[in-house]
Structure 1
């Protein structure tokens, strides 16, 4: 229960602060990052495709803003 391999407190598979602990902030962030990594690589080409659209929208907005105001 306390500090064993399957312990709840500080073990390797512990819930508190072990290597694979569930409440360990660093492990949660690392797991979250690894889960999102494939999605980031999939969205990268989409971001490059949308980049020219963003520039067009920005140019349109600023031209409209300065003409109307």
Structure 2
């Protein structure tokens, strides 16, 4: 996945120039999320527990938002 972000490094290096700072944007890659697997390619027990907890927290958060709102 690619996303565009403000190039803060170029801005900081050029902010004191007499003509003003240079504003640029750069494309950056976001690494894909992958399930943790063992040597044979099967998901590990800890990975499955982590995914189950993450989905339970997400469902609880969405449910709480519906309850509060």
- TM-score for both structures, normalised by structure 1: 0.32
Larger relative strand fraction: 2
Ranked by relative contact order (alpha carbons within 8 Å, sequence separation 6 or more), the top structure is 2
Larger relative helix fraction: 1
